[in-house]
Amino acid sequence: MDNPLGLPGSPAATALLAELEARWSEPHRRYHDRAHLRAVLTAVDRLAAHADDLLAVRLAAWFHDAVYEGRPGHDEERSAQLAHTRLTACGYPAAAEVARLVRVTATHSHDPGDRNAAVLCDADLSILGAAPAAYDEYSQSIRQEYHHVPLNLFKTGRTEVLTRLLTKNPLFQTSTAQSLWTNQARENLTRELALLTV
């Protein structure tokens, strides 16, 4: 019997599910928490038709912020290493693909024909196209996660992130994500950027 990860039931898979649930429940998380994981998995399911290997994409969603210390690049690399180690121990044959996908989320940049990465990245960024109230809650949660960063430095870094996202064309890679989220995402990003420059 499969577990919620989509892996065949085994003691290793059961232990992995418990470990991932514990990681996503860590108390220091404000945005990158279980609600974010559920949202990404839901978005992956909405974009499923675009994936070449849906199970690998879903597993990458489970692992993409499994290690979260607020250190961009470092967190993704450690999460990818965790994915490769744990999935190999579970006997999952595409552990390397899952680790590769996790690494892609560090920059959300990938080759145009990389359908698995397109689905994962679009799902991870789907919050950008949320209703304004949900987006504002997300942006406040991001600030809480980076509460240790002085406000002026946070504003500078966040402005760079938002500007990079706004200049990305297309912002989402799959046609489904483009139709679902692009317009609202651009409105949300523009609104937050304007608030940061006040």
Angle at 35 between CA 195 and CA 61, to 5 degrees: 100
Output the DSSP codes for 76-142: HHHHHHHHHHHHHHTT-TTHHHHHHHHHHTTTT---TT-HHHHHHHHHHTGGGGS-HHHHHHHHHHH
Residue 119 domain flag: no
Residue 114 domain flag: no
- Same-domain pairing of 136 and 102: no
- Same-domain pairing of 12 and 96: yes
- In this prediction, residue 40 carries a pLDDT of 98
Residue 116 domain flag: no
- Same-domain pairing of 81 and 31: yes
- Same-domain pairing of 90 and 171: no
**Structure confidence by residue, pLDDT tens digits, 188-198:** 999 999 999 87
- Same-domain pairing of 97 and 141: no
Q: Per the structure, how many domains does the chain have?
A: 2
- Same-domain pairing of 91 and 146: no
- Same-domain pairing of 104 and 161: no
Residue 129 domain flag: yes
- Same-domain pairing of 97 and 142: no
- Same-domain pairing of 104 and 129: no
* Cβ-Cβ contacts under 8 Å for 107 (sequence gap 6 or more): none
**Structure confidence by residue, pLDDT tens digits, 95-118:** 999 999 999 999 999 999 999 999
Share above pLDDT 90 across residues of the chain, in percent, rounded to a whole number: 93
- Same-domain pairing of 195 and 165: yes
Is the whole model's pTM more than 0.85, yes or no? yes
- Same-domain pairing of 39 and 72: yes
Give the pLDDT mean for 162-166.
Answer: 95
Amino acid at 135: Y
Q: Which domain holds residue 138?
A: 125-198
- In this prediction, residue 198 carries a pLDDT of 77
- Same-domain pairing of 91 and 60: yes
- In this prediction, residue 23 carries a pLDDT of 98
User: Which residue, 57, 81, 109, sits at the end of a domain?
Assistant: 109
Q: Which two tokens stand for residue 189?
A: 């990003």
